[in-house]
Amino acid sequence: MIDVMKPLYTLLLLAALLSLGSCQAQEKQTKDKTYTLKSGDPNGIGKWYMGREIAHVMGYQGMAWLERSEREQEEETAQLIENMQIQADDVIADIGAVSGYHVFKIAPLTSSGKVYAVDIQQEMLDAIADKQEALDVENIERIKGEEQSTNLPTNSVDKVLMVDVYHEFSYPKEMLASIHSALKPKGKIFLIEYRMEDPKVPIKRLHKMSEKQAVKEFEANGFLLVENIDNLPWQHCLVFEKQN
């Protein structure tokens, strides 16, 4: 008599192993359990941090959109700059400076200070360099960042500006550690992100952030929310202070 149970058992075991492998491929954690890797939104990279999926980076090909003429009206950049209460001797880092839209508005206000323009895309830094030369601006220093580091000098920065970029960091925990190191004691981060709480903001979901999620991530990495300046049309202006 043929033993049909043995091949059946083998098939069931194989199916279970394939199912387990599929689940592991769909969702797994990195070695230190900081990040979870799983499928998600088409606009995301399949990597999650503290319950939030990280969005794809906007490439340099979108530079023209960043410099669009209606941006001031849509985002009230002048109000954002006023929110920062910039002093002449401030050292400010624009992380994710892209084409320098905010950098060139800040530079004239830091006449005895400096603006670090940080970006990981060389094409963005080249665009800033071209404009800097054309306008003869001397107090801007361009820095090529990396996925896990701003490459800013330690204890060198009074204020950090991040406009619609933090949600795209592939390694947010490492980047926040790098920013923490670069900030002076009680230094501040001005986090500008499209409001997740407002469905009327015409931006893809993964390119928005809620105040609750931002506070969760920043407080876990040595920063305290000291103010939510709620005067921008579409974006949060969350001010975090470095905690020692």
Closest listed residue to residue 139, CA positions, set 178, 166, 100: 100
Q: Is residue 40 part of a domain?
A: no
The span from the CA of 151 to the CA of 138, in Å, is 20
Please write the tens of the pLDDT for every residue from 127-140: 999 999 999 999 99
Q: Is residue 13 part of a domain?
A: no
Strand duo 183-195 + 157-163: pairing = parallel
Q: Is residue 112 part of a domain?
A: yes
Please write the tens of the pLDDT for every residue from 202-227: 999 999 999 999 999 999 999 999 99
Q: Is residue 44 part of a domain?
A: no
Please write the tens of the pLDDT for every residue from 47-104: 999 999 999 998 777 777 777 878 888 899 999 999 999 999 999 999 999 999 999 9
Q: Is residue 71 part of a domain?
A: yes
Q: Is residue 113 part of a domain?
A: yes
Q: Where are the beta strands (DSSP E) in the chain?
A: 27-29, 35-38, 44-49, 52-55, 91-95, 114-119, 140-144, 157-163, 183-195, 208-209, 223-228, 235-242
Q: What is the CATH number of the domain that holds 229?
A: 3.40.50.150
Which tokens belong to 46?
């399949």
Q: What are phi and psi of 27, to 5 degrees?
A: -145, 115
27 vs 71, residue with greater confidence: 71
Q: Is residue 147 part of a domain?
A: yes
* Domain coverage including residue 152: 59-242
Structural domains counted in the chain: 1
Q: Is residue 10 part of a domain?
A: no
